[in-house]
Chain A
């Protein structure tokens, strides 16, 4: 089955620690996205990538970093500079970037600071 796989499902971070969230897709989509979801708020865009080896900051990129070395993979690192990282993180993909094709989402990773 084609889809987006996020791992792990739950992640715990200690103060000052960097953690990496995995996102893999087998839909052969060009564009991939990372969103953050907080209770009572809409999803907010962290980073997006329209093509391999290229990515752009979204609305709330501070304290996060990404890479796009392979078409199917778009990992997100939450760095120690992110002061309030506890949230639900969602990865998405679209067939192409910038043209409004249908978006598909993974099952999310819940990150908690301990």
Chain B
């Protein structure tokens, strides 16, 4: 059974600092890994999708890396802003479903 872990569970940083969010998974047989953002009481917004054959994916201030062999992904958010405050979830795609971590809740202090 796929287990996905996100550490730390919560993170507080001053505005302008770079954010580093970690995701680890136990079964390397994945199709892809997806990072999501969730605001309180809202649904999930897809940030980045990394296919299993890719090493990284970038979108604006966001960069995600994938090391499938070691079962790790890292989401980097450059020059954080208060609007980046949210919960960030990673999910790995198996045969028919996504397996999710519990998320990292980020607070960016102005």
Which stretch, A11-19, A63-71, A78-86, A101-109, touches the partner chain B?
A: A101-109
Are A103 and B95 CB-contacts (below 8 A) given A42-B103, A90-B44, A108-B42? no
A4 surroundings in chain B (CB, below 8 A): 43
Are A103 and B43 CB-contacts (below 8 A) given A42-B4, A42-B89, A42-B103? no
Give the B-binding residues of A (Cβ under 8 A): 4, 6, 33, 35, 40-45, 48, 50, 56, 58, 88, 90, 92, 97-100, 102-108, 110
Using a Cβ–Cβ cut-off of 8 Å, how many residues does chain B contribute to the interface with A?
28
Structural contact, A103 and B41, CB atoms closer than 8 A:
no
Bound Cα distance from A40 to B100, whole angstroms: 12
A44 surroundings in chain B (CB, below 8 A): 100
A104 CB contact (under 8 Å) in B42, B46, B52 = B46
A48 surroundings in chain B (CB, below 8 A): 96-97
A104 surroundings in chain B (CB, below 8 A): 46
Complex interface residues of chain B between 9 and 63 (CB less than 8 A to chain A): 9, 30-32, 34, 36, 41-46, 49, 51-52
8 A-B pairs, CB-CB below 8 angstroms? A42-B102, A100-B93, A102-B34, A102-B49, A106-B43, A107-B42, A107-B43, A108-B42
Are A33 and B97 CB-contacts (below 8 A) given A90-B44, A110-B41? yes
